[in-house]
Amino acid sequence: MDNDLYISANVVRRVFSSSTYQTGNIKEIYKNKIYLIIVYKGVVMKNTSLGYHTFSFFQRLKEDEYFALSGSFMDYANLNKDMKMFPVKNKKGQCIYYIYSYRPSNGIRWLLLSPLMKNGFIAYGILTIIDSKVLIEGNYITASKEDELETVERIYNGKVSEISPILNKFGECSLSRVDPCLNIDLQELNIPCSPAQMISLIKQGNIPEHYQERKVEYNKKQHRRVTDKNSFYLESKSSVINYYWKYPQQDNEKHPNYFFKEASRNVIRLEVQCKYLAIYNLAQNIRNTTRSYYSMEDENSDQMYERMIYGIFHPKNPADVILRDSVLEGVIQKHFYRIVRKGDYFTLDGARIMVKSYDFRKDKEERLIYALEQVKECHGIAKAKEKLRGQDLTDFKRSLRDLDDILVNPVTIPRRWGIEYIPNLLSAYFDVIYEEQIVHKKEFLAKKRIEKFLLKIEDHKI
């Protein structure tokens, strides 16, 4: 076997692909830069889960179809008292669209959209929004997996057949949004910090290019809008990234899971809301693997522009392709490493010890320690980047990559917490789920070095 690969129990994470759960020639897999997971543990946890929770699709309608469908929904609501219709209005009191949903919520709702209303839409259509775990079992915490999609499809098709033949069947629908997510229950994974502390560390992470952090609350003392203390919410044109503590979201009497909120007390949700453009890019190379595939000619530039601007006309983005476990895991991992990074959390002193243990050249060692100190002083990676220019910024970004290589997070644990070490959340999840993985030698050795560091802490030698 290649000298740069090791098989190791409970070690590290890696890229997932359609070949993830298949056996094959190790060298061929390595050559294609795919890391093969050897053993799947099949560990089942109550709240900790990786998958998706919400997705939606838009169906364009002709004017006569729109009004016929509106009538069908009204007739259905009159016959089924659990179906409710209500208008959504803007600040001026103008109707934007109508929502049809079930009360109590069953995980599915429809938005009727028309250019006649004050919403900026240029076409008639209906937007379907599905929270699949709520639809299946009334669960507002756990993420859905690929193997549950058939159940979602069966329930959805049953509902639309009762309402109108105008509504597309599930296999005919094209995704307009999907929210891959990773739920981490800190207690289930034995993470030695509180949810508030974990969010504090996450909020000191990186803000990728083209993203901005949303400010939602007005602080009277600071006389300005500030970010939500319980979430790290980043927005771009193609996606929204929201890493947040689940419990405060459900600690609201209007939330449908309010009376069962206690189950979410230790849950951190790492969520990526993929808009049309992100889904389109995901589907490009795998679209024809859907069971409902049909041949399509490429769109011209005017059609593509119209889709991007208005977000209501969609190419064929089949749910059974995008909502595969391997695709969703790849999305979560990509964004997590860009924002939170690969490394585990140490105190600043502990991080210094880890860096020095490698006996790097003096200039490299000083560069890495300086980066750690800059992040500490500026209260985060993004804020440290903001104050640097030119070669200093180049060196800082290089140091972030070098710290990733030795699995040391640039964000450090405050001494006042009394905690010496906190594992990387994604690493902790994969270490529980997958018993054995093939990893790079560099990463394997970094993990072993961390284990030695932790043993010294236990023996009070640090």
Largest CA distance in the chain: 77
**CA distances from residue 91 to 99, 118, 241 in whole angstroms, order as listed:** 17, 11, 27
Average pLDDT of 237-250? 94
Local confidence band at 23 (pLDDT 50, 70, 90 cut-offs):
very low
Token pair for residue 443?
């990463």
Reported as a single tens digit per residue, the pLDDT across 41-61 is 555 688 999 999 999 999 999
- 316 or 88: whose pLDDT is higher? 88
Average pLDDT of 10-39? 34
Burial of 136 (0-12, 13-18, 19+ CB in 10 A): middle
Local confidence band at 434 (pLDDT 50, 70, 90 cut-offs):
confident
Average pLDDT of 296-325? 62
Q: Above 50 in pLDDT, residue 16?
A: no
Residue written as tokens 């509504």?
167
Half-sphere exposure of 143 (CA within 13 A, CB side): 30
Reported as a single tens digit per residue, the pLDDT across 338-379 is 999 999 999 999 999 999 999 999 999 999 999 999 999 999
| 115 upstream amide cis, omega within 30 of 0 | no
Q: Above 60 in pLDDT, residue 401?
A: yes
Phi-psi region of 244 (alpha: psi -120 to 50; beta: other; left: phi over 0): beta
Residue 18 has what pLDDT? Answer: 32
Residue 191 has what pLDDT? Answer: 96
Lowest mean pLDDT among 30-39, 144-153, 294-303: 30-39
Residue 116 has what pLDDT? Answer: 78
Residue 301 has what pLDDT? Answer: 60
Local confidence band at 35 (pLDDT 50, 70, 90 cut-offs):
very low
Please, what sign has the CA dihedral across residues 54, 256, 254, 160?
A: positive
Do residues 421 and 451 make contact, with C-beta atoms less than 8 angstroms apart? Answer: no
Average pLDDT along the chain? 84
Token pair for residue 427?
């690493």
Reported as a single tens digit per residue, the pLDDT across 185-201 is 999 999 999 999 999 99
Local confidence band at 429 (pLDDT 50, 70, 90 cut-offs):
very high
Token pair for residue 328?
């969703």
CB atoms inside a 10 Å sphere around CB 99: 16
Q: Above 70 in pLDDT, residue 4?
A: no
Reported as a single tens digit per residue, the pLDDT across 106-121 is 899 999 988 877 666 7
Q: What is the pTM of this model?
A: 0.83
Beta-carbon contacts of 415 under 8 Å, excluding residues fewer than 6 positions away, are: 347, 348, 349
Most confident of 1-15, 276-290, 392-406, 446-460: 392-406
Residue written as tokens 């939500």?
228
Local confidence band at 20 (pLDDT 50, 70, 90 cut-offs):
very low
Q: Above 70 in pLDDT, residue 11?
A: no
Local confidence band at 461 (pLDDT 50, 70, 90 cut-offs):
low
Rounded to 5 degrees, what are φ and ψ at 44? -110, 125
CB atoms inside a 10 Å sphere around CB 35: 20
Average pLDDT of 390-413? 97
Cα dihedral: 218, 221, 226, 231 (round 10): -100
CB atoms inside a 10 Å sphere around CB 420: 18
Local confidence band at 425 (pLDDT 50, 70, 90 cut-offs):
very high
Do residues 96 and 85 make contact, with C-beta atoms less than 8 angstroms apart? Answer: no
Helix 425-433 crosses helix 325-339 at what angle (to 10 degrees)?
150
Residue 157 has what pLDDT? Answer: 95
